[in-house]
Amino acid sequence: MLTFLITSRYVLTATSPELKQPQAPVNAITPVNVSPGDIASVVKAWDSRTASLTKAPGFISTTLYQSVLPNHPWPLIEVAQWQSYTTWTKAHDNADCNHLTERYPPAMATPEVLNQSWSVDFMNDALVCGRRFRTFNVVDDFNREALSIEIDLNLPAPRVVRVLDRIAANRGYLAMLRMDNGPEFISLALAEWAEKHAVKVEFIWPGSQKMHGTKTGLFTQKFRITNWHTYNNALINRGSMTFWLDDEAIKSWYDTSPPSARGRPQRYSDLAITTVLVIKRVFRLPLRAAQGFIDSIFTLMGVPLRCLDYTCVSRRAKSVNVSFKTVTRGEITHLVIDSTGLKLFGEGEWKVKKHGKERRRIWRKLHLAVDSKTHEIICADLSLNNVTDLEGFPGLIRQTHRKIRSVAADGAYDTRLCHDELRRKKIRTLIPPRKGAGYWPGEYEDRNRGVANQRLSGSNARWKWTTEYNRRSIAETAMYRVKQLFGGSLTLRDYDGQVAEALAMVRALNKMTKAGMPESVRIA
């Protein structure tokens, strides 16, 4: 039985000798009979217009029917597509939720051989003069090999097709091409190329950052640690007491040097004071607990030594000279400088976040100069929190007499005082100029070059990339290691004692660094 389902209360029935006339619905108006020829005309018109309809499948405007059957009084409302009434009912009774989109994007298949899947994408960049250009990147998903990077001011779809043909001439045509829905990738030229060479086109899920990151995996670097066994043993040794209380400290525990001034000679050496401060910071112990801890270690080791009293440590820490420099010698290629705060007194972050600040908080500023190649802290100093970075810079850089090629610091050091200090030692300056900075007359070529790059490109990004300024982040890594390993606060009350405590933290970190650091190589 063929029936037109109209959204009004009309029921349109087809008259055919093979079909039994249905009974009129109880609540329907008198049916309007249509000949099979008229129905065929409607079907033909429907088939010719289906592809261009933007409405949901199964619905069509009444205007189409009026153009085919102008003599029938059909209502000017939307009507359903003609079809078998029983088929239509069965299809809608068994309808599922396929029209709903998936909540999560499907996982991208991992290629198993070469040329199984390529990923393509565009990137934009600018020259120093400000002229924009584009790069078209092609990557094999199997081994993340860069097959081509095409660079030009404009890369239309025909140019993309030529690049793919050039790659395929050497490697053969691929099986699947992954890309986003950019205008060049949904063009007719690329669609015809894919159909001609039997290449399956797969578009990434719209809005999926994970799939987009997988597609552009060429720019996601992966590294592998090559000395994992050595580095793992170094991490284990950090908790060994024999690593911190070594033979040198035991042999030099008591001061055997002849007195150089009047008064009672000191019984314990400066190395013993430094060792106690280091153990106190490594294991995060109060002075009294550190004294009992070291005494118990001497007892277990069977060494006829005793730990000095905690009051002696507190008093001697004001004048002890804590040496944190290692025996490393030679030229320093890249020295990075920064500072961080160590809390001395005040409320915790949680209390301040929940209830606000009620009491004053006191900080000390730790200045660090780190070798970017070895992660060794070359220079270190502690100051009050009101001392600016540029005020502490001259005293920090004068702590070493080793030859330094370049020094990198952030914009807080962009002052004549810092530049003059580095120029006096013939060190290349890598300090980004501040926003809107002007040229300095005189011998400030390094800074004026950075100002010129900033004015041409509008920012310091290009200058940072060309000068390897981004290695300055190793100073941030050093400050993070200090706070994670030894805590972000100081416990001694006197300022001179706080300086010794901070330098003891630096000494402990350098000893950990010398024991072993991860060595990684890029694998992708």
- Residues 302 and 390 both lie in one domain: no
Among the three residues 316, 341, 358, which one is the final residue of a domain in this structure? Answer: 316
- Residues 351 and 470 both lie in one domain: yes
What distance in Å separates the CA atoms of residue 114 and residue 112, rounded to the nearest whole number? 7
270-273, long-range: CB < 8 A, 24+ apart: 270/316, 270/320, 270/321, 272/308, 273/308, 273/313, 273/316, 273/317, 273/320, 273/500
pLDDT, tens digit only, all 524 positions of the chain: 343 443 333 333 333 444 344 444 434 334 445 455 555 555 555 444 444 433 333 433 444 444 444 444 443 333 334 343 444 444 545 544 444 455 556 667 778 888 899 999 998 888 777 788 999 999 988 888 889 999 998 899 999 999 999 999 999 999 999 888 888 888 899 999 999 999 999 888 765 555 555 555 555 567 888 999 999 999 999 999 999 999 999 999 998 888 877 888 889 999 999 999 999 999 999 999 999 999 999 999 999 999 999 999 999 999 999 999 888 788 999 999 999 999 988 888 888 888 888 778 889 999 999 999 999 999 999 999 999 998 999 999 999 999 999 999 999 999 999 999 999 999 999 999 988 889 998 888 889 999 998 888 888 888 888 888 989 999 999 999 999 999 999 999 999 999 999 999 999 999 999 999 999 887 76
Name, in order, each residue with C-beta under 8 angstroms of 183's C-beta and a sequence gap of 6 or more: 157
- Residues 377 and 486 both lie in one domain: yes
Report the DSSP beta bridge partners of residue 117: 176
- Residues 305 and 377 both lie in one domain: no
Burial class (CB in 10 A: 0-12, 13-18, 19+), 79: buried
Instruction: Give the H/E segment covering residue 429.
Output: strand 428-430
Beta strands in 168-225 (DSSP E): 176-179, 200-203, 223-225
Q: Determine phi and psi for 370, rounding to 5 degrees.
A: -120, 140
Is the entire prediction scored with pTM above 0.75?
Answer: no
Q: Which domain holds residue 130?
A: 117-219
- Residues 434 and 460 both lie in one domain: yes
Instruction: Map tokens 């030099």 to a residue.
Output: 252
* Count of structural domains, the chain: 4
What's the pLDDT at 186?
86
Beta strands in 174-266 (DSSP E): 176-179, 200-203, 223-225
Among the three residues 286, 316, 346, which one is the final residue of a domain in this structure? Answer: 316
What distance in Å separates the CA atoms of residue 221 and residue 206, rounded to the nearest whole number? 24
What distance in Å separates the CA atoms of residue 210 and residue 321, rounded to the nearest whole number? 53
What distance in Å separates the CA atoms of residue 277 and residue 514, rounded to the nearest whole number? 19
Burial class (CB in 10 A: 0-12, 13-18, 19+), 354: exposed
Q: Which two tokens stand for residue 177?
A: 């091409």
Q: Do 514 and 376 meet the contact criterion of CB atoms below 8 Å apart? A: yes
In a domain? residue 166? yes
For residue 18, CA distances in Å to 21, 32, 331, 415 come to 9, 19, 101, 98
For residue 283, CA distances in Å to 33, 198, 303, 487 come to 96, 65, 21, 10
What's the pLDDT at 142?
85
